Amino acid sequence: DAGVIQSPRHEVTEMGQEVTLRCKPISGHNSLFWYRQTMMRGLELLIYFNNNVPIDDSGMPEDRFSAKMPNASFSTLKIQPSEPRDSAVYFCASCNQGEQYFGPGTRLTVT
């Protein structure tokens, strides 16, 4: 199994641009989580899905953030428009029997 796949691994963009982060969970896992990690705030849960349905998006910081899971094998996290304070590492994790398996993360830098 290839594990959780995230793309891109690094993203550098200018303030105001739209950013789309992608995640492919492990096949057969029915829960998917998006996290953000910064030095200041540590690891924050943004949103999670169960069977492709968003369950809790209370961690999404603002309306500029949106996430979708159109099918069991793909999810996106979109930031529009991006701001410098969105710079962070964004992780996707998938889960089946209670253990979350993380992707390698996307390091986002907004200048």
Partner 1 sequence: AQTVTQSQPEMSVQEAETVTLSCTYDTSESDYYLFWYKQPPSRQMILVIRQEAYKQQNATENRFSVNFQKAAKSFSLKISDSQLGDAAMYFCAYRSGLDSNYQLIWGAGTKLIIKP
Q: Nearest Cα to 6, choosing from 109, 110, 102?
A: 102
Phi, psi of 14, rounded to the nearest 5 degrees: -95, 150
Q: How far is the CB of 89 from partner 1 (least distance, A)?
A: 6
| Binding status of residue 104 toward partner 1 by CB under 8 A | yes
Does residue 48 bind partner 1 (CB under 8 A)? yes
Beta strand 19-24 with 5-7 is antiparallel
Instruction: Quote the tokens at residue 91.
Output: 């992780």
**How near is the Cβ of 16 to partner 1 at its closest, in Å?**
27
Residue 33 lies near partner 1 (rule: CB under 8 A): yes
The strand pairing partners of 92, in sequence order, are 34
Query: Among 74, 78, 95, which residue's Cα sits nearest to residue 86?
Result: 78
Instruction: Candidates 45, 64, 68, 74: give the one binding partner 1 (CB under 8 A).
Output: 45
Work out which of 21, 26, 93, 108 binds partner 1, going by CB under 8 A: 93
Distances in whole angstroms, Cα of residue 96 to Cα of each of 72, 99, 110: 12, 7, 33
Residue 105 binds partner 1, judged by CB under 8 A: yes
Q: Judged by CB under 8 A, which stretch of 10-18, 19-27, 29-37, 73-81 contacts partner 1?
A: 29-37
**Is residue 70 involved in binding partner 1 (CB under 8 A)?**
no
CB-based contact 56:31 (threshold 8 Å)? no
Q: Which residues bind partner 1 (CB under 8 A)?
A: 31, 33, 37, 42-43, 45, 48, 50, 55-56, 89, 91, 93, 95, 98-102, 104-105, 107
